[in-house]
Structure 1
């Protein structure tokens, strides 16, 4: 039951977020939003991730792990409804609530995996991130067709965004019975280290920083490129339709690692060589897009695959580099808070470089340099060391 619950929760952790981008032009036209205003709307979930992630572990300690996950799903569901109401304030408020719910789920899901599948952390992490990608691809690809349906009292984009309610509803059908039954399996309340493991302690731990920067810089590269990819492709000669297909292909490519990595993760006791290859491949894809843009389809697929593969292995480190659920919860909150704070700055910096230079070359070089630093910290994080190992030895 825990495995199914993890998969259904994972459906909610990307789809309601990525489904906004295909509808953005319709929303801008209908609500008369300016470019900067719309850009802020797309950055709101990332800001929510950064602000809420540090508090997720504390919420779990107070409410219990499963009730906290139920709260996350409820926030996503209410946010989907508010975002679809058709006016500016609910649009922004709903987007913030969706971000808060996703942030809570992002932080606590690795804890559920560590508690329920301690010997299969990498495999289960790979599977649930595959489900995240599948939900995201499905949602993103059907938004435009759904928006063309003639629905009474709702604009096309409202109905399309409201369709995302199906994801939290499915998850609630599983999580509500678990909470009602008072299941305490997976509670983060059983270890004495629960009181001892603080964010301040982890901030002094090199291993925690290595995991945090590997995840954070990886997220930075993804959102920096994905946020501007259709515009980049349009400026180098691709039509709007072609750019849209390539953007969809990017989302699809993020699904594949969740399945391809399974045999490697199940057989290997060390992920150092694997994450190093994946992280460096992100750099290669960015250099390829910069220098051989006529083969964009190859570089987009390579970037999506390698970036997501790096993310999957990096997320598994939250469980592999900790010795308790309490440590995992705190490290998850720290890594994702800092990670998404970094990611939130990416699209703005890329836009600034483009505005200043009038070309995407500087932006792509910048993202590529960040990808190299990501590869460095990913390699360090892959060493078989535990957080606070010296303090507890």
Structure 2
């Protein structure tokens, strides 16, 4: 992630951690509450627009006569945006300011969500691209904003941020079918309603736009040539990509798989929600555990074992063991995401190294992840059964173990 560079430039302009601490450290007032609400509402927008698609992907495919591989692009397009645009968000923020760019991203997000739900094939994918661009800004800049505004409460506020993001994501998956039924708008209502949340978030965030000056300082960039030649860096980047691929394949296709095996659409959406909710506790305690260990090899093994147990439960048990299976997968993917984030900190000695590694991992990782949903759908189209694409997830889990064990060793990029 590029947020570390942004933080450095904020400090250069006088927005120091000490100043922020003096401002917020000893009091709780309406202004602080509004900032926290703004952070939580923005976080709520960062996954729900993607996870709301999975439960209704069959309806979208049937309504617009799209092939499984083609409709899988709905999930892949935002990931492509993450990969292509992440490096540009900090540069734009230096000209507009963090708060203002986040406001603009909410505007674009609302537009994308409403556009995607019109029911027209070109607009469906144009909306998906706008959504991806908007979420990219939030993904990159929100950690920097938290660090800047709550330097002494980063852990607590980051935990709240992650819980908001993942809880809303779970609710989006669980209620997607029901929202379409209650609204009478079908899949268009299921994926379009989140535009309302984006608009509400926009108004909640607006008061923050006028509080901070625009940052124009240009930080010195560290050369990344050596990084791209580092085997450790590539292992971490691939780990990031594989855990994202696993999550987004399941987000896009698990409800459809379960529906084809006889589960109701509403219940299948809740299975995806259980994956989301199972991640919440581990995302709070995982960073603490990883930071206290000499290496994270044992955590990588736990991730792999839980993931394989969950996938085996789905492949061999189908709907019979689906609840314990998705909970096992959820804990595993939550731990994998936590490890991906921690490797970027624990395997680097300096801020610039960490920023460069984060940028590389995000770019490579989301390119890998973006391939997942459409390839998964294409494998189903070619084989006409779910076992072949599910085998892709098993292979991905094995590769995750291999690169994870290398990434988890106690060493640094510069060694």
Q: TM-score range by the shorter chain?
A: 0.7 to 0.9
Partner of residue 16, structure 1 = 49
Q: How does 1:68-79 map to 2 (within 5 A)?
A: 68-79=101-112
Give, in angstroms, the shift of residue 72 of structure 1.
2.5
1:52 to 70, 85, 97: 85
Pick which of 293-302 and 112-121 moved more.
112-121
Partner of residue 215, structure 1 = 240
Q: Which SS does the other structure have where 1:239 is aligned? A: coil
Give, in angstroms, the shift of residue 123 of structure 1.
6.2
Q: Does 1:92 pair with 2:125?
A: yes
Instruction: Call closer, same or farther: CA 1:332–1:70 in 2, change over 3 Å.
Output: farther
Q: How does 1:52-201 map to 2 (within 5 A)?
A: 52-113=85-146, 115=148, 125-149=158-182, 155-183=185-213, 189=217, 194-201=219-226
Give, in angstroms, the shift of residue 329 of structure 1.
4.8
Does the 8 Å contact 1:280/1:371 carry over to 2?
A: no
Pick which of 62-71 and 366-375 moved more.
62-71
Give, in angstroms, the shift of residue 11 of structure 1.
0.7
Give, in angstroms, the shift of residue 119 of structure 1.
7.6
TM-score normalised over the length of structure 2: 0.77
Partner of residue 307, structure 1 = 333
Q: Does 1:340 pair with 2:380?
A: no
1:19-73 Cα deviation digits (max 9, x unpaired) = 2233434444544545444333343222222222233333334433333333322
Query: What are the ranges of 5 or more consecutive residues in structure 2 without an aligned counterpart?
Result: 1-31
1:67-94 Cα deviation digits (max 9, x unpaired) = 3333322221221122233433332211
CA-based RMSD: 3.3
Give, in angstroms, the shift of residue 157 of structure 1.
3.7
Instruction: Call closer, same or farther: CA 1:276–1:55 in 2, change over 3 Å.
Output: farther
Partner of residue 299, structure 2 = 274
Q: Which SS does the other structure have where 1:13 is aligned? A: coil
1:38 to 67, 71, 76: 71
Instruction: Call closer, same or farther: CA 1:127–1:257 in 2, change over 3 Å.
Output: farther
Instruction: Work out the number of aligned pairs and report it.
Output: 378
Instruction: Call closer, same or farther: CA 1:21–1:349 in 2, change over 3 Å.
Output: closer
Q: Does 1:224 pair with 2:245?
A: no
Does the 8 Å contact 1:11/1:131 carry over to 2?
A: yes
2 CA distance for matches of 1:22 and 1:240? Answer: 12
1:263-290 Cα deviation digits (max 9, x unpaired) = 4544652371334412432133223433
2:279 to 253, 257, 262: 257
2 CA distance for matches of 1:324 and 1:111? Answer: 17
1:135-178 Cα deviation digits (max 9, x unpaired) = 11222333333323467xxx444344332123323432343222
Partner of residue 283, structure 1 = 308
Query: What are the ranges of 5 or more consecutive residues in structure 1 without an aligned counterpart?
Result: none
Give, in angstroms, the shift of residue 311 of structure 1.
0.9
Q: Does 1:239 pair with 2:269?
A: no
2 CA distance for matches of 1:20 and 1:367? Answer: 20
Instruction: Call closer, same or farther: CA 1:163–1:54 in 2, change over 3 Å.
Output: same
TM-score normalised over the length of structure 1: 0.81
Does the 8 Å contact 1:111/1:328 carry over to 2?
A: no
2 CA distance for matches of 1:40 and 1:224? Answer: 11
Does the 8 Å contact 2:344/2:358 carry over to 1?
A: yes
